[in-house]
Amino acid sequence: MKSSIFGFFSIMMIFTFECVSAQDYSTSTVSTKVDRRPNILLIVADDLGYSDLGAFGGEISTPTLDSLAQSGIQLSNFHVAPTCSPTRSMLLSGTDNHLAGLGSMHAVMKWGNPELLGKPGYEGYLNNRVLSMATIFRDSGYSTHMTGKWHLGMEEDQGPKARGFENSFALLEGGAGHLSSMGMSEYEPKATFREDGEVSKIPEDFYSTRFYSEKMIQYLKSRDISKPFFAYLAFTAPHWPLQAPRESIDRYVGRYKSGYREVLKQRLVKQKELGLISSDTNIDRYIRMLPDWEKLSPEEQRIAERKMEIYAAMIDDLDRNTAKIIEYLKATGEYDNTLVIFMSDNGAQAGGMPIFTRWSDKCCDNSYENMGNANSYLFPGKEWARVSTGISRGFKGQVSQGGILAPAIVNYPKAVTKGIRYDQFLSVMDILPTVLDFAGIKHQEKNYLGRDLLPSKGTSFASLISGDLRSVHSDNYVMGWELFGGKALRQGSWKLLSMPAPYGDNQWQLYNIEQDPGEHKDLASSQPERVEKMLSLWRSYVADNGVILDDVNEKIMIQPE
């Protein structure tokens, strides 16, 4: 882990103790001495697209997250894995998902390639070769709390409690109904929840976004306030099925009558104004990728509108419930000493795998009048996913930029520099070393049995928080991806990419992402020497991370076109 100047000074200061009294707002345990190391609040959205937030060009009302971006650091070049659980394994371990146990998704291996499941790095859960972020914080004197989506193991000894969370209320599967415990497929017809390791039920008035935020506040209220906290709030919104309370959906009725092309145009114009895309970006190129709204029938239009109204409502509610956490921290005097990190786990979702689309047809009433209710089951669709993705190619599940480029925000009220944008490459693996550096904690090298643990592959960007905006990664830094037949490797601004059918022809392509962020101009034929050098780096990545190249999974992951 690369240390920073900021990390050095934080280590010198964080062990200062001071007397405090209990505050009326909190019911926490009171101690006469308080460890003033910084709190960490890590918020993850599920399938949120790059352009959905207002700060990233969207029209959806997200004032809380926009404010965090405007008063903090907006990470505009932040990379994740193509899907949920691989990203979460990288987030909590700081290393590659092929090492941490999620070389592929558990359900996809189980249903599509059972021979792969259980091999080293493909255990289907966060394995014991890595130490979770929560365990490190807990063992370093923090209170640790988690609510929301886990997706890193179904068994009790694989859940949040076993991986360092003192309090947790977790959805174990990759998704579920937002208004009930409806499961994702005929194989998992009912969702599984655990609270503090024990199988639990959700309340009758359950709404995922509200419930997870309020449960987190409950945990923070009841914690020992003599300790700093690490809180992991893993929303399931706006992951399908598209569901939200009727009053939330009503806020967006009529907002999307102009159709796909016009909404994307407005977002890209705003992204130009914000400096998120180049001022010379040919917007028409991307608009033409979407169907002509006027050629859709009135019925097709109103169904498409309603899907986006629900999707927008889910994101709006995510922002409103993030506000509840922020307001609580301010009311208790904790906000100024809390590092807030917000991110999405992958690119926007288009359609669903066949196992999910079959379930959608069987389980639910998807009539127009019932869309968004607890017994409906809908996907955003590739057209709205294209709007959410912006200029990037592809969607969730793909190693093109549309699958792995995600919005992210860092905010620390005591920061020297505020309201800045960092537009250089970062990845989800960089978060663990950053928060440990920020808190003055060293990553443990061995577990309690004395066995070696895998170190983080990320690099701390804690120096950014103190105003040092120098590059975190050098031009020689290499990061690879592999999932569902897709393969990619980055070195500096260069990206080597191979996509399976129907998204590609399995041939290696070469792009300069800095000059061509939409991955339009393949330079492989004109730069064979660079391709060969990067292929050598790719082979090293495969060997170093135990990657098993798998073409079976690509068949199960194909989304309807």
What is the set of active-site residues? 84, 151
Contact 486/82 with Cβ under 8 angstroms?
yes
User: Which residues have CB under 8 Å from 188's CB, separation 6+?
Assistant: 107, 173
Q: Give CA–CA dist 19/382, Å, rounded.
A: 55
Distance CA 83, CA 526 (A): 32
Contact (Cβ atoms closer than 8 angstroms) between residue 429 and residue 90: yes
**Contact call for residues 454 and 95 (beta carbons, < 8 A):** yes
The strand pair at 182-185 and 73-79 is best described as: unpaired
Residues in the chain: 561
- The pair of three-digit structure tokens given for residue 335, joined into one six-digit string: 């906000």
Q: Are 214 and 406 in contact (CB under 8 A)?
A: no
Tokens of 87: 């990203």
C-alpha closest to that of 314 among 252, 396, 261, 357: 252
Show Cβ contacts of residue 280 under 8 Å, excluding neighbours closer than 6 positions: none
Task: Find the angle CA(492)-CA(102)-CA(436) to the nearest 5 degrees.
Answer: 65
The distance between the two most distant Cα atoms of the chain, rounded to a whole number of Å, is 69
